[in-house]
C-alpha cells in the first residue's frame, strides 16, 4: 500500500513561508516597475537568480547534463516558464492591481490540469476534475468581470496578459515532464533560468534600452527580493517542501498566495479590489479544492464511518 504524504508542522511552516515569499513577489515587482520596464524587470529576475542557482549547483557538485538536446530543452523551458509568463504578468501589473494579478495567477493549476489531460494519457480529465476546472473558469470570469468584455480597454488587456502567463506556465509543466524529468530539480531550474536569461537580456536591451545599474535603492531592494528570494531561494524551498509534503499538498500554496498578495497590495499600495474579485477567488479556490480531491475523500470516509 502506498504511503500518503501528510503535512507535518515543519512542512506547514515551510509551505506557508513559500506562500508568503511568492505572495510578496507581486508587490516587489510592482515597485520595481515604477522605475524600470517589464522586460528589464524580468531580465534582472532571471539573470541574478540564474547566478545564485548555478553557485548552489557548483557548491553541491550536482551532475550536469551532457546531452546537447537537454540544453536546447532548457532554452524552450525558460521561454515557457519564465520569459513569457514573467513578461506578460509584469506588463499586466502596470494596468491592474497586484491582488487581482495574484488571483488570476491562481488559475495556473486549472490550466495545468487541462494541459496535462491533453498531452498525457495518465492524467485524463475525470468528472471530478471537470467540475473543478469548470468552477475555476467561472471564478476567473467572475474576477475579471463582464465589463472586461463589453468595455474592452487597457485594463482588460492587462487581465488577459495575466491569463496568458498562466497558460504558458501550464504548457511549461508539460514540457518539463517530457524533457527534464530525469534531471535533479536544482539543475533543471538553473538551466531553465539560463535559457530564459539568454532571451530576456538581449530582448530587454533592444526593446527598453541598455540595462542600467544606477537605480534607486527602493528599486534595487525590490529586484533583490523578487530575483534572489522569490525566485532563486523560492525554487530551492519549493523542491524541499515538495519532497516533504508531495505535489498534492503543494496546491495549498496556490490558495495561500493570493490572500497574502491582496493584503500587501492594500496595506502598501492602498489597492482596493471590487467585490467580484473576492467572489471569483472563492469560486476558483473551491475549484482547486475539488481538483485536489482530498477534502471530498475525507468527507466520504467520515460518512461511511458514521
Which residues contact residue 125 at a Cβ distance below 8 angstroms, ignoring those fewer than 6 apart? 113, 114, 117, 133
**Given pLDDT bands bounded at 50, 70 and 90, which one contains residue 237?**
confident
pLDDT confidence of residue 109: 83
Q: Name the least confident of 269-278, 284-293, 294-303.
A: 294-303
Average pLDDT, the chain: 87
Kindly report the backbone phi and psi dihedral angles of residue 272, in degrees, each rounded to the nearest multiple of 5, phi listed first: -130, 120
Q: Of 88-92, 229-233, 258-262, give the lowest mean pLDDT range.
A: 258-262
2 pLDDT band, cuts 50/70/90, is: very low
Residue 3 has pLDDT above 60, yes or no: no
For position 43, what pLDDT does the model report?
Answer: 97
Q: Pick from 254, 252, 279, 266: which is nearest to 166 by CA?
A: 254
> Is the pLDDT at 217 greater than 90, yes or no?
yes
Predicted pLDDT of residue 148: 62
Residue 62 has pLDDT above 80, yes or no: yes
Contact 77, 192 (CB under 8 A): yes
Which pLDDT score is estimated for 211? Answer: 93
Give the integer Cα–Cα distance in Å for 30 and 49: 18
pLDDT band at 147 (very low <50, low <70, confident <90, very high): low
C-alpha torsion angle, residues 154, 155, 161, 163 (rounded to 10): -150
CA distance 76 to 59: 26
- Note the pLDDT of residue 165: 95
Max CA-CA distance within the chain? Answer: 67
Residue ranges per domain, the chain?
9-210+223-305
Instruction: Dig out the grid coordinates for 146 from the structure.
Output: 463582464
Q: Full-prediction pTM beyond 0.85?
A: yes
pLDDT in tens, 33-59: 999 999 999 999 999 999 999 999 999
Q: Per-residue pLDDT averaged across 13-24, rounded?
A: 89
Amino acid at each position: 500500500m502506498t504511503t500518503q504524504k501528510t503535512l507535518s508542522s515543519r512542512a506547514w511552516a515551510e509551505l506557508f513561508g513559500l506562500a508568503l515569499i511568492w505572495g510578496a513577489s507581486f508587490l516587489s515587482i510592482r515597485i520595481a516597475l515604477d522605475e524600470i520596464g517589464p522586460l528589464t524587470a524580468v531580465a534582472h529576475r532571471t539573470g541574478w537568480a540564474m547566478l545564485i542557482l548555478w553557485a548552489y549547483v557548483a557548491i553541491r557538485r550536482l551532475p550536469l547534463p551532457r546531452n546537447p538536446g537537454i540544453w536546447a530543452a532548457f532554452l524552450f523551458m525558460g521561454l515557457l516558464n519564465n520569459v513569457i509568463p514573467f513578461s506578460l504578468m509584469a506588463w499586466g501589473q502596470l494596468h491592474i492591481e497586484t491582488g487581482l494579478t495574484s488571483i488570476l495567477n491562481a488559475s495556473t493549476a486549472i490550466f495545468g490540469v487541462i494541459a496535462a489531460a491533453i498531452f498525457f494519457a495518465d492524467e485524463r480529465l475525470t468528472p471530478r476534475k471537470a467540475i473543478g476546472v469548470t468552477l475555476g473558469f467561472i471564478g476567473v470570469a467572475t474576477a475579471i468581470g463582464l465589463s472586461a468584455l463589453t468595455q474592452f480597454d487597457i485594463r482588460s488587456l492587462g487581465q488577459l496578459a495575466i491569463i496568458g502567463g498562466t497558460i504558458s506556465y501550464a504548457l511549461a509543466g508539460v514540457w518539463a515532464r517530457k524533457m527534464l524529468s530525469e534531471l535533479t530539480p536544482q539543475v533543471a531550474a538553473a538551466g531553465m533560468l539560463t535559457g530564459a536569461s539568454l532571451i530576456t537580456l538581449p530582448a530587454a536591451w533592444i526593446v527598453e534600452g541598455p540595462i542600467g545599474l544606477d537605480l534607486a535603492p527602493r528599486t534595487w531592494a525590490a529586484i533583490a527580493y523578487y530575483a534572489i528570494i522569490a525566485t532563486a531561494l523560492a525554487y530551492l524551498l519549493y523542491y524541499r517542501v515538495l519532497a516533504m509534503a508531495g505535489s498534492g499538498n503543494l496546491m495549498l500554496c496556490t490558495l495561500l498566495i493570493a490572500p497574502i498578495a491582496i493584503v500587501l497590495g492594500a496595506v502598501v499600495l492602498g489597492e482596493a479590489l471590487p467585490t467580484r474579485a473576492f467572489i471569483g477567488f472563492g469560486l476558483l479556490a473551491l475549484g482547486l479544492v475539488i481538483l485536489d480531491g482530498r477534502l471530498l475523500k475525507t468527507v466520504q470516509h467520515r460518512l461511511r464511518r458514521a
